[in-house]
Structure 1
Amino acid sequence: MNATAIAHPTEEGARALRYAALLATYLQSVNLPLPNAALRFIQGSLSMADDQVGWIFTAYFAASAITLPIASWLAARFGLRRVYLLALAVFALGLVLATLSTTPLAFSGARIIQGAASGVLGPLSMAIALETLPAARRAKFGVVLTAIVLSGIATGPSIGGWVSDLFGWRWMFYLGLPVTAYIVLVMGLSLAEKKAAQRPPFDFFGYGSFTLGVIGLQLLLDRGERLDWFASTEICVEALASALGFYLFAVHRLTTKTHFLGKHLFRDRNFVLSTVIFFALGFVLLPTLALTSPMLDEILGYPPITTGCLTLPRGAGLVGAFLLAARMPERIDPRLVVAAGVALVAYANWLMLGYSPLMDWRPVAVAGALQGIGLGVLMPSISKVAFSTLDPQFRPEATGLFNLARIYGSTLGIAIVQTYFFNNMQAMHMALGGNLTPFHGAGAALAASSASPALLGLNEMLTGQAAFVSVLGQFKVLMLAMLAVAPLVPFLRKPNPAS
């Protein structure tokens, strides 16, 4: 029996389930970038260091990547209704703990709890929504579900910035509690319990070894800068754990017939190449937000409301282009659309290299909108190419891997750009400070003055300049990530329109 099968509710009950599932989909996606525009407030109240900011995003994303592959197995083994309601309760617990946090570690723990629940809520919400529809409508409804996820990512920073500026940053999490309670009420009353008649199989060794490798790598990247990399015993342990996990996974995959991430998926050229491109898309999608909002909020001094609003052009371009590209006529070769999307994203990141401390809001809005349009065009097109030549019986498993590629791309991308950002900022600060001598005008004036406020002001100015140059360097890394996968596009096979 399918673990996500639902008993036949009334039409009103099915509609209520569908809307509640869509609301849960939006809730778990909007909470990912929600703190983005309010980082200055969160840092100040929690005494959070600059290199800990990335944990706000990677904690949520990494936790969701861990639980997402086992969501369907949990529902089949323990029951869809039970698992879904428990995930909602855990998500609400994460929201409450975020509002009560007083230290960076406590806040990161709350984000881990939210992310772990999100990884279960995402696929099960999709299953619930699709099962309330006739089979003929499910394919088109999948576009709506993806658009809702993208809408949550697009609107999260603006909602968080607005709420934080008016009521305080903790209220952005308080607002999620009544929404979660409403979803629990609807699901508790209308969702029937279903689970598999027999215990479903799952490759826990493959899943566990792969997860160990990813967690070790994530912790290494997140903690390395703070602990001076391999001079720290903790970093060495995390590196060994990651290497061991990936080694065990590789051996297990080569020596067993059935396992997590089956071999058959890697025999389809279109799927493999598209998954790599989708990984690069994830590498750009959220790290851009993780760089842009702190640049506007902390370096340029924009208020959180303005910072959040400047993410809206990117979000509007992303969602609008996605909906248009998803309805593109079949006669148009999607490989051409994929190439156009990759080129547009790379061009938008190239425009970001021209940001200046003296600019107004328009360059950010234009570059963000173009990048959003490129990503929105790319997502449905690369998905169509990925599954066009794949055996239909493998599509459910392939969908999980395909989505994991985007999630891992984003979480590793955020960790990598944060690491390089702080390394580059320190190097740039030293380079700029090295040119400041008593023989220059500003240096001579300060040398003649013993006033420490003047020295502190100069150091703050140098730090701001170094940080801004480092942000531009990370936009270059994101641009190179898209350019690196561009040569893969010509190797994609033309999809069969009948597929």
Structure 2
Amino acid sequence: MAGRQSQGEAPPASQPARPAQGAGGKAEPKQRSTSVVILALMIAMLLAMLDNMIVGTAMPTIVGELGGLDHLSWVVTAYALATAASTPIWGKLGDMYGRKGVFLTSIAIFLGGSALSGMAQSMGELIGFRAVQGLGAGGLMVGVMAIIGDLVPPRERGRYQGIMAGVMAVAMIGGPLVGGTLTDHLGWRWIFYINLPLGAVALFAISAVLHLPKKRSEGRIDYTGAALLTVGITALVLITTWGGNEYAWGSAQILGLGALGVLSLVAFVYVEQRVAEPVLPLHIFRNRNFTLVTAIGFLTGFVMFGSTTFLPLYQQTVQGASATNSGLLLLPMLLGMLVVSLVAGRVTTQTGKYKIFPIVGGFLIMAGMFLLSLMDTETTRFTSGVYMAVLGMGMGCLMQTTMLVAQNSVEMKDMGVGSSSATLFRTLGGSFGVAILGALFTSQVQDTMAERAGDQGAAVTSGSAQLDPASLPKLPAAIRDAYTHAVADGSHQVFLWGALISIAAFVAAWFVKEVPLRGAAKPADGDEAQADQPAPVAEPV
């Protein structure tokens, strides 16, 4: 029966109408409605993605004005940590009360955090306001993924994978370029203010075209579980950030945080097994594929955030690029990701096969990070561009494929928490990656400065040192040369450890089982076909 439908016959009356079927009637407006909804969702996705990429190229200038080189990673970590802590709650709220209102609320919070970040007068304020942004961003990303999961069956989702990859590429290519241009000509505060008009467009578009069935659950949000998870995550990230830096690894502060993190997570698992509406249902992890791809997503986030955070600093300090040019120098990585993601989406849609992509992606990320670890003060921009292209191709194989497999591994009723869990672990990976790699980077920079320039060099990189690119030419030649080598050495440590972490993702990818995607062309019978199709959630506009 499915084979006949694929040739244009209408589905049975008991099956939800599919937009692609028929020539006229309700199918065409429904198809147009879905397309408009997807476009509006992509605008919201662009909003969250653009903010991540804009900040990277402006970080050296921000540190130069506000000070606090030792807190550099926290500008990213605070955002990622707040996103991680709020993601499960956003996903569960969407499952229980409907996605549209929850989604619009997350956009509003994100825009409020953007405005406040632009007005920050100290590094502490900026970190706090970035956390507010992160709270909203958690709802943006999981909302987009969950709504697309409702609208489009996994087998057909490969077609939209190219669109999502295109949005990511626009954000990643345009973000550094726009961020660098704004920083060079208008000031770094405009990298946050630029979110406001884009966010207004997203709010209007989503309000106007997204029509979802209203739902109201009698269940209650698992606030106890959410609080325990937040405490556990925060404690572990603080350990990775402060350990060996602010406090000794054997200090009471670090040991206390370790005990708090472990106890909180153990209590979280206990609570989730007993509440009626767990914020993170543990039964979804009984599916091997889901567990594997969330682990791969964690490792991918660890590596991706680490590389994109410290690459601009290397390019501006060691290779002498401006903030604008350092954004353009990321193009090889971003174009590699876009091209490979488009190919992966097309192949997945046409064949239903996807296992090869996590395997190839894991290998390419591992190879790309190792190649980047070879960079030093003599590495040319062309050579570093080739290395970044390899890393980008690995990301293109993994970014959307892992989410696709995760959503295909849960029931439709768990689409929200499934999407939020996959997003949570990727975000956690980014948070841990920036914190751990940032600590390694800072430690290596300080060690190299002390070794090459003695006490004077150590003083330059301690506390609130003013080390933006504009101030480097003002330093004595010996100090400037020492700092260039220090940043190169710090980058080497970051990428080498990233390559080692990537080995685990490559190994895990081999154990993913290729389960047929829902919405495949040949279900066993009509009932199965019906079960595979999601209920229509977009109304004609």
**TM-score, normalization: structure 2?**
0.77
Q: d(CA) in 2 for partners of 1:258 and 1:68?
A: 16
Contact 1:40/1:298 (<8 A) preserved:
no
Please point out which of 32, 50, 55 is paired with 2:69. Answer: 50
What's the CA shift for 1:150? 5.3
Residue in structure 1 matching 2:491, options 456, 459, 471: 471
Whole-angstrom CA distance in 2 between matches of 1:25 and 1:381? 17
- Give the deviation of 1:18 after TM superposition: 4.3
The aligned residue for residue 155 of structure 1 is: 174
Aligned equivalents of 1:67, 1:302: Cα separation in 2: 36
Count of equivalent residues: 475
Q: Does 1:22 align with 2:42?
A: yes
C-alpha distance in structure 2 between counterparts of 1:365 and 1:165, whole Å: 23
Whether contact under 8 Å (1:287, 1:417) holds in the other structure is: yes
Tell me which of 484, 492, 495 is aligned to 2:512.
492
Return the alpha-carbon distance in structure 1 between the equivalents of residues 407 and 207 of structure 2: 35
Distance 1:232 1:106, change over 3 A: farther
| 1:328 aligned onto 2:347 | yes
Aligned position for 1:5: none
> Mean Cα displacement is larger for which, 338-347 or 407-416?
338-347
Deviation of the 1:459 alpha carbon: 3.6
Could you tell me how far apart the structure 2 residues matched to 1:135 and 1:493 are?
Answer: 16
Give the CA RMSD over aligned residues.
Answer: 3.6
Q: 390-399 or 323-332, which moves further after superposition?
A: 390-399
Q: Give 1:265's aligned residue.
A: 284
The answer as to 2:155 corresponding to 1:174 is no
The CA deviation string for residues 221-268 of structure 1, in whole angstroms up to 9 with x for no partner, is 334455224577655554343232112123335666863433332322
Structure 2 partner of 1:111: 130
Structure 1 residues 397 and 478 mapped into 2: Cα distance closer, same or farther (>3 Å)? Answer: same
What is the CA–CA distance in structure 2 between the aligned matches of 1:103 and 1:390, rounded to whole Å?
Answer: 44
Q: Of residues 428, 436, 443 in structure 2, which corresponds to 1:408?
A: 428
SS at match of 1:102: coil
Identical pairs, percent:
24
Gaps of 5+ in 2: 1-28, 455-472, 521-541
Spell out, residue by residue over 1:295-341, the C-alpha distance to the aligned partner (whole angstroms, 9 max, x if none): 11234331111101011211111122111111115658633332222
Q: 1:209 touches 1:246 (CA, 8 Å); kept in 2?
A: yes
- Sort the Cα spacing of 1:103 and 1:494 in 2 relative to 1 into closer, same or farther, 3 A: same
Residues 423 and 146 (structure 1), Cα distance of their counterparts in 2 relative to 1, 3 Å cut: same
Segment drifting more, 392-401 vs 64-73: 392-401
| Displacement of 1:216 | 1.5
State the match for 1:285 in structure 2. 304
Residue identity in the other structure for 1:93: G
SS of corresponding position for 2:54: coil
Q: Does 1:297 align with 2:316?
A: yes
SS at match of 2:380: coil
State yes or no: 1:365 paired with 2:385.
yes
- SS of residue paired to 1:35: helix
Partner Cα separation in structure 1 for residue 393 and residue 154 of structure 2: 30
Tell me if structure 2 keeps the 8 A contact 1:320–1:376.
yes
Q: Could you tell me whether the CA contact under 8 Å between 1:15 and 1:132 is conserved in 2?
A: no
- Residue of 184, 195, 202 corresponding to 1:165: 184
Alignment of 1:222-233 (within 5 A): 222-224=241-243, 226-229=245-248
Q: 2:328 maps to which residue? A: 309
* 1:199 partner SS: coil
Unaligned runs of 5+ in 1: 1-9, 435-452
Distance change >3 Å, CA 249–CA 153, structure 1 → 2: farther
Of stretches 15-24 and 364-373 in structure 1, the one that deviates more from structure 2 is 15-24
CA gap of 1:490–1:357, structure 2 versus 1, over 3 A, is same
Among 423, 431, 446, the residue aligned to 1:426: 446
Q: Deviations over 1:347-374 (max 9, x none)?
A: 1112112212122211121111111011
Amino acid at match of 1:221: T
How far apart, CA to CA, are the structure 2 residues paired with 1:94 and 1:344?
36
- Matched residue of 1:31: which SS? helix
SS of 1:493's partner is coil
How far is 1:19 from its partner? 3.2
Alpha-carbon distance in structure 2 between the residues aligned to 1:97 and 1:382? 34
Contact between 1:38 and 1:304, CA under 8 Å: does it hold in 2? yes
Cross-structure match for 2:79: 60
With over 3 angstroms needed to count, the CA separation of the structure-2 counterparts of 1:167 and 1:352, relative to structure 1, is same
Counterpart residue type for residue 211 of structure 1: T
Question: Deviations along 1:79-109, whole A, 9 cap, x unmatched?
Answer: 6554444333322222211221110011112
Work out which structure has the larger RCO, using CA pairs closer than 8 Å and 6 or more positions apart in sequence: 2
Shift of 1:457: 3.8
Amino acid at match of 1:367: Y
**For 2:229, which of 204, 210, 219 is the aligned residue?**
210
Structure 1 pair 394–208 and aligned structure 2 pair: CA distance change class (3 A): same
Give the structure 2 partner of residue 7 of structure 1.
none
For the 8 Å contact 1:293–1:307, the answer to whether it is kept is: yes
Tell me: CA distance 1:277–1:182, structure 2 relative to 1, closer, same or farther (3 Å): closer
Q: Which moved more, 1:54-63 or 1:373-382?
A: 373-382
> For the structure 1 residues 300 and 274, does the alpha-carbon distance in structure 2 shift closer, same or farther, using more than 3 Å as the test?
same
Task: Verify the 8 A CA contact 2:77 2:431 in the aligned structure 1.
Answer: yes
Residues 76 and 199 in structure 1, CA contact (< 8 A), matched pair in contact too: no
2:238 is the counterpart of 1:219: yes
